[in-house]
Structure 1
Amino acid sequence: MNEEMNNGGSVEKTPFYKKNWFVILLIIFIPPAGLIMMWVNKQFGKTARIVLTIVLAIYSIIWLTTLFTPKPTQTTQPEPTTQSQAQPSANVSATAAPTPEPAPAVPTEYKSALKKAKSYSDTMYMSKQGLYDQLTSEYGEKFSAEAAQYAVDNLDADYNYNALQKAKSYQETMAMSPEAIRDQLTSEYGEKFTQEEADYAIANLPQ
């Protein structure tokens, strides 16, 4: 009982701060003060006081740890700019499409050989082999073999047409037969046309 009898037999009221409900409120809202009052006034049984003391001690430790532990600050990483995002693709494009190297310059001798080959083809209707021999001959143009080969490889000539013009010349000026003309066109001592070019010329001679 929270109320006691005095010597005169009257009932003595218990102060409010010694009552169980007040001690419970202190324990809830002010744990240290409530704990002290519980032990000083011997509220509750001994076992209950020990259990409550342990629970409040653990609670206080957790509360103090949470209170004094600094909260981590969050840092926001800046997003990459559009320029930095576009830079790798520009580097890839530069790597994928290198600047082409300029073509090597054609030597002057090669150009001269090509001009001479064109002149012979347009006026004398020579074969490819005949042009090469004329360009490299010591009695002809005396170009180097490399210059002559460049000339005949890069000459835009219709050798079927050249063979036909030669065949007409032989037919008109020397009255040669088609077979004789064919032999003259393909002979290594004659015009040096290919067999196919000579066949084209004979097939297209005027009747």
Structure 2
Amino acid sequence: MSKKIVGDDGKTYVQKKPIYKRVWFWILAIVVIAIFSSAMNGGSDKSSSKSPNSTQSTKATDDESSSSEETASSSSSENPKVSAEFTSALTKATQYANMMNMSKAGIYDQLTSDAGEQFPADAAQYAVDNVKADWNKNALEKAKQYQSKMSMSAEAIRDQLTSEAGEKFTQDEANYAIQHLNDN
């Protein structure tokens, strides 16, 4: 990773690789590009799938989104202590879970990030606690993306799914994804 060089003065110096030549930099760049393009497409990858069940899964996702929105609005009408900010955070969390297949921890970080949604920590925590999502399914969808678009090995995908610098899924969710990665 680094190269030792002896200088004119007889001292040994360590020459490191430039950041753009490091593997983790390219993995991070690809992940950011994938997330950005997925956000820009608005989840259109799901509707363009060649699977015969794609219409059903899109319909199911739409039903889940609307039922989550109904749950958010019904819970806000039942519980007057839930502020508009908490409801907005829940709506955003539902979008991230359903359209971008993000993990619970990833959604929390996105909701609280200064570069993200900038919700207060309590609103973000309320959102991730109340969002209706199948985290195993989200991990599996992310794993499929890594396998098809980046040709990663199963172990590399598992590492990316559980990494704090990656997707932040739990070990159980990543294990589920790897076990079902090649199921039809």
Alignment match, 1:86 = none
Identity score, percent:
64
Q: Which residue of 154, 173, 180 corresponds with 1:197?
A: 173
- The answer to whether the aligner puts 1:105 opposite 2:81 as a matched pair is yes
Q: Which residue of 126, 129, 151 corresponds with 1:150?
A: 126
Q: Secondary structure at the match of 2:82?
A: coil
What is the rounded CA distance, in whole Å, between the counterparts of 1:113 and 1:139 in structure 2?
15
Q: Match for 1:153: what amino acid? A: D
The structure having more radius of gyration, on CA atoms, is 1
Q: Match for 2:91: what amino acid? A: K
- The answer to whether the aligner puts 1:117 opposite 2:93 as a matched pair is yes
Q: What is the deviation of 1:143?
A: 0.2
What root-mean-square deviation, in Å, do the aligned CA atoms of Structure 1 and Structure 2 show? 1.2
Alignment match, 1:163 = 139
What is the rounded CA distance, in whole Å, between the counterparts of 1:186 and 1:106 in structure 2?
32
How far does the alpha carbon of each residue in 1:154-175 deviate from its partner, in whole angstroms, 9 at most, with x for none?
0011000000000000000000
Alignment match, 1:94 = none
Q: Match for 2:172: what amino acid? A: E
- The answer to whether the aligner puts 1:173 opposite 2:131 as a matched pair is no
Normalised to the residue count of structure 1, the TM-score between the two structures is: 0.50
Q: Match for 1:134: what amino acid? A: Q
What is the rounded CA distance, in whole Å, between the counterparts of 2:79 and 2:97 in structure 1?
27
Alignment match, 1:20 = none
What is the rounded CA distance, in whole Å, between the counterparts of 1:154 and 1:148 in structure 2?
10
Provide closer, same or farther for how the CA distance between residues 122 and 175 of structure 1 changes in structure 2, counting only shifts above 3 A.
same
Q: Secondary structure at the match of 1:113?
A: helix
What is the rounded CA distance, in whole Å, between the counterparts of 1:179 and 1:170 in structure 2?
11
What is the rounded CA distance, in whole Å, between the counterparts of 2:166 and 2:174 in structure 1?
12
**Which of 169-178 and 102-111 deviates more?**
102-111
Q: Match for 2:148: what amino acid? A: E
Normalised to the residue count of structure 2, the TM-score between the two structures is: 0.56
What is the rounded CA distance, in whole Å, between the counterparts of 1:199 and 1:168 in structure 2?
13
